[in-house]
Structure 1
Amino acid sequence: MLYLNLSEVSYLLKNYSEAINYANVGLTYTNSDTPDVMIGVIKSYIVMSNMCLALETHDNIDGEEYIKEIRKTYEEAKRVNNLYFTNAMAMTAAELYLKINDSVKAFEWAERSFELSKERDIKVAQRRALEFLVLNKEYDNKEQVRQIIELGRDLEEQDYATRNRFARIAYETERIETENSQLRNMISTIVSISLAIVLTLVIGVYVYRLKNKNKEIRFIKDQQEANESIYQLILERSVIATEVKNNVRNKIAKDIHDGVVNGIFTIRFNLQQLKSENEEMKGILVNELQSLEKRTRDISHSLIDNELFEHNKFVSLIEDLLALQKNQWNTEFLLDYENAVDLEDLPALDKVNTYFIIREAIQNVNKYSQASICKVSFTKEKKNVVIKIKDNGVGFDEGSSRDGMGLQNMNERAIALHSELIIHSKKGMGTELMFKIKIK
């Protein structure tokens, strides 16, 4: 096959003697297993070259004698269904007939090649046959068509040359990259060996320092966790102390109301029933007792309504609560507090219930949400403060059971606030918990 290709190239370059020599060398490599069509094609290049040499020296030759071998190879290629050689032999016959000025048979063989290639949808062979027919038949505008065909061939050659240049550039680039890669590998090997030697000398020091650093980090982490726990306990103790203080004050207020106020009322009532010669003094004493009764009742009410968070601003406690939160998902806890909402005027019990609802909700975020952000917001809405705890975590199916103790506690505190605990959640869409507090 190699010598066949060399013979074909020599034939196309019109080096007919060289084409014959290559074909003869190719025949020496044939044996009993070589297909007949291959042998026929090699012989056809010998015949074609001899015919061209004969035409160079003689004007009149018996072209049919030469073309007979081409036709024989054509039939063999067609028989074994070798479409490439079938088309090649048909076009070769057409070209040889044209060389001996037999245009009728030349066009007949070209049309035969065209029909065969069209039937098998071989585009290259179709174009070759059509170009042969168009260039060699007589018709109007033949010269323009020839120019178009030649222009198309020139463009193909330019495209082929361009692609060859790019292929050469790609090859050179790949070769340079290969050399660079080898050089880099060599440098990397040298550097690796050097680094290995250096690392071997200092690895003990680094390991020792790393162990000490890990111990220091663990110590700091433990200390931070301890500080956070202590701070949380202090905060909770502050709330509990405030609750105890409120309970004591309420008890004192109740004792004053039930004991002192009622006693003053009884004295005033009995004094009004007494007959006295000095009614004016009696009236003064009754009015004084009535005034004392009112002031005592006011003191009682004042004790009951005293703020639980007198020394701890409510918003500051919420900020501290959020600042202390930390979980394995590194959730960022944010506070959105509108200045227009004056939560310090809320009753103490409302603050306590609100605080614990928020804390329980945040604990659920830490346990289950896997969120990156959790936002606690206070928004004024007419005569209410709307409180929302919203995260962007995994969420849950609202139809699933939610009867945990924490949720039960939050619901009870929401009822104490004369509110309703509303929860919205979807899997993959986060969770939002909302309740309201009435304000004056």
Structure 2
Amino acid sequence: MSKQEKYSDQQRINFLNRAFSLTSKLQNSKESRNLLSDIVFQYYDFELSDGFNSSSKVLLKNSLAVLDSTNLGKAYRSRATYYKNTNNLDSSFIYFSKAEKLYFKLDKQKEILANVYLNKGVVQCMASDFLGAELSLTRAYSIYKDSDNKNKLYGTLNQLGLVYNELKEYEKAVFYHEKALETVRKYNLQNEQHQEAVCYNNLGYLYIKQKKYKEAITNFEEALKDKQILKDDPDLYSLLIDNLAYSRLQSSNYKDLPKLFFDALAIRQKFNDPTVIVGSSIHISEYYQKIGNNLLSIKYSQDAIKVAKKSKIPGNVVLALRQAQVVDTKNASLYSRDYVRISDSLQIVERQSKDRFNRITLETDEIIQENDILEDRNRKLLLGFTITFILVGLLFVVRAQRARTRELLFKQAQQKANEEIFNLMMSQQSIIDESRNKEKKRLAQDLHDGVLGRMFGLRLNLDSLNSSTDPDAPQKRNELLNELKTIEQDIREISHDLNREKLVLINNFVSIVHNLLEEQKSLHQAEVTYNIDTSINWDKIGNAIKINMYRILQEGLQNINKYANAKNISVEISGNSENVFLKIQDDGIGFDVNKKSKGIGMQNMISRTNDCQGIIDITSKKDNGTSIVITIPIETKQLIEEQA
């Protein structure tokens, strides 16, 4: 019923008090704690400090009793907020720190954690712990910048600007205030709180601190273009006109002075806020000092001292004394002593506050309970870590076993492929040998039946011409000489055939390589050029070397097709009396040759080169292609005599 707007505020407050009285007597259950949490936040909305304090205490007690983390987080935040509102900064800092630890562990509560960071930063600012505030607010900003809560983002940026102003890091302060202004405009956050005017006021105040009074005046005047500020937020309006008047005073521009100062003072006196009343009185004193009216200057400085002392706020007293000792020269020494004494006390209190924030620990029974919670969590973490370690170990063993199995299968497949290549080469060798024998028989028949028979006939005819006196004998002799020339040409052709046969015999490996390269040309887009040295005596090179060279070339072409994205491929096979060389080059994208982990294809090429006791040189640069040069010593086990 306390939420139903059909009732008056007082009726709703009465319902709320009754609800709290009944709920606090219920058994400590999840439902009662949830209800109590709702009551706490309603007290906060009604700005009922006593009810907010009492209900949040009960919520904290009940949540700690059963370690209800959800409601415990709400209780910590409520206690911290209560102490913040009552200016008990140490206690507020303690509870915000507790809430921070709790929400930090909850991944789904990031925005609540950001709100804790923001409020903790504000408390640190209030205690003049600006470095600590910078850290807290930066953490809040890192979450809010990616969230949909743009009002909180604006508040965080604004507070960061104020912190950097106090740290005298003015460039950063301007950056964050302008960022806040940009956020207000971009997401249309303007409402009765007049965020845009607040941004302009903060920028103007920042320029006052830097003594850039013209820039300050521009920002204050821009803010005052919003005519609704006086109606919606008189306190903000008084701040703007007081700051504007002070900026004009410092730049010797007396427009609307001292009226603006007195207007601001009148508004502030209605709200009875001593701090801003002291500020207005000091500014009026400065005004009269500057125009040479010393009596009024002293009067308003003394007014500031009276209000400051009555407020019992040391900071106000220090500001009032500082102004009084400047304008009241007769009593300057008295004011100066009081100023130094109170100022030193303030500095000591400020340092102590910072130290306390750095070393705060909980001194209640909650410490024991929190330690128990941590110990229980540590045990669970240890158990989880042990189980995870065992599972990871088992997974590693299984994967290692699978890898060894794959490697064994690969080696077996590789061995089988080598055997098939060898059998293929031997089969081709047998076919070539059979063809060679047939060709020998054909050539022998041609020589016996053709050339030798014709030469025998020529010899008989020449013998008969030697003893002939026939006048036609010279003509016949010429005809027989022409026949000899024809036989000479036939013998030359047979010789050429023999040379071609020899070339085919010794180049069966070359034929296989040729087929591989022609297949590469037909199946892939890259342009292939190749050159195979015809002077290499392949009969002196062992079959193992031929097989490995073939497989290396095959693997190199596959790597280019898969990864290089090359347009041109060049293959060159050459040799000398001691070595045979294979060079594979492309103009592809290249790769990092210094990379520790190499692909299986490259590892195979290196392994095969090592098997032949050879040397492999790989050169590659990004976008500059790759060059692989392999040098293999010729394995001469048996020399096959060349047949003439």
Give the shorter-chain TM-score range. 0.3 to 0.5
TM-score, normalising length from structure 2?
A: 0.23
Higher relative contact order (CA 8 A, sep 6+): 1
Bigger radius of gyration among the two: 1
TM-score, normalising length from structure 1?
A: 0.33
